[in-house]
Structure 1
Amino acid sequence: MVNLTWVQRLKVCIDIANGLNYLHTTMEDKRRIIHRDIKSANILLGKNWEAKVADFGLSKFHPTNQQESTINTNHIAGTYVYLDPEYAKTFHLKKVSDIYSFGVVLFEIFTGTLAYDSHYIKENEKGLAPIIRRRFKKGTLKEMLDPKLMEEAYELGFTGKVGPDHDSLKTCVKIAYQCIAKTQAHRPRIEEVIAGLTKALHFQISDKYITRGGSGILYNGKIQYHNRHSKVVVKRFSPDCYLNDTRFSWEHGFLKEFEVLFKHKQDNIIGLVGYCKEINEKIIVYENASKGSLDRYLDDTSFSWTQRLKICIDIANGLKFLHEGDTGQDVVVHRDIKSSNVLLNKDWKAKICGFELALTYPTNEVIKHVIDHVVGSPGYCDPLYWETNILTKESDMYSFGVV
Structure 2
Amino acid sequence: MFQTEVIANRVIMYNYIPCVLLDNSADYQNHATASTIIIRSHLHQNLENLLIPLKEILLATGNFSHELIRYSGVYKGQLSGRWGNRTAAFKRHDPKKKGEEFRNELQMMSSLRHRNIIQLIGYCDEGGEMITIYDYAVNGSLESHMVGNVQKRELTWVERLKICIGAAKGLKYLQASHGEDKILVHKEFKSGKILLDDNLEPLISGLGYSIVLDRNKGQVYGKPAGDRYYIDPIYQDSGIIRSETDIYSLGVVLFEMLTGISASFDNIQQPLINRVRRIIKRLEEALRVQEQGDALTIATRSQLSHQDKKLEDFRVPLKEINEATGNFNNKTWIGKGGFGVVYKGQSSKRWQNCTVAIKRLNSEGRQGNNEFQNELNMMFRFHHHNIINFIGYCDEDNEMIIVNEYASNGSLEDYLADVLDNKRRSLTWVERLRICIGAAQGLDYLHWGLGENNRVIHRDVKSGNILLDDNLEAKICDFGLSKSGSTDKPQSKLYTKAAGTRFYMDPLYQESGMLQKESDVYSLGVVLFEMLTGLLAYYEKAIEKGDEPQFLINLVRRYFDDGLDVLVDPSIKDEMDRRSFHIFKYVAYECISLNSKDRPTMDTIIDRLEEALEFQMLRENPCPLGEQLEPEATAKVTEDGSDRDHRSTEKANKAKVAVELEGC
Q: What is the TM-score of this pair, normalised by structure 2?
A: 0.29
Greater RCO, CA 8 A, separation 6+: 1
Q: What is the TM-score of this pair, normalised by structure 1?
A: 0.48
Larger radius of gyration: 2
